Amino acid sequence: MPTAAAVASVVPIQDGAWLSALKDVFRITPRMLDYRDCAGLKIQYEIPSQIGADRLANVLGAQKLGVKEGVIIDFGTATTFDVFANSTYYGGVICPGIQTGLRALVQSAAKLAETELRWPDHAVGRNTGDALRIGILHGAVGMTESLLRNIRREFFPGRKITVLATGGLSFWMKGRTKIIHRFEPDLTLLGINHLLDSEIPDGRGRRRTP
């Protein structure tokens, strides 16, 4: 039987249902991971309430792995970049996700059809399917490398940092770029777990024994 729980939600309309279920079924009052309760992570962001809980969880997961500063790229519905250092979250970048970009093109252009993603063999497509695959996948690599260069130049000039990738679509990047150092598919879950190991903001201590 669970004795503690934490919730990291990016669908606010579902928050109440999850909280009620955990209380009714397991008699647990869960912790909600957000800018007000994020294991002591300091926030340097203009409107902290706008930060997705998954992004904060990713930073906490990186800290749990012993990474002190760096960039996390989460390849999912959106592709997000999050910058952190010295237990501080600074902000990041939000881009269309790999599949999201493909679907948006197909839905917006009458002559483009749904295409199975796979890595193309050429730099120039000789048919529309390959042209889409090149644009989406090689475009994702180019975007990732360009944004990371800009982030490193602005936040970490001359310093070595760790770049971690996570998210359900991060496998597309494996072996395609050397600028990503680690792939951690469970990073978000590690961060949520790290919240449960941290002190509650009111100082009452931990809810469980690590």
Q: Which residues are catalytic?
A: 54
What is the spatial distance between Cα 3 and Cα 8, in angstroms, rounded to a whole number? 17
26: Cβ contacts below 8 Å, ≥ 6 apart: 1, 2, 5
Residues contacting residue 143 through CB under 8 Å, at least 6 positions apart: 79, 95
In the 8-state DSSP scheme, what is residue 88? Answer: E
Cα(160)–Cα(117) distance, integer angstroms? 33
Q: Which amino acid is at 98?
A: I
- Residue linked to tokens 């941290």: 198
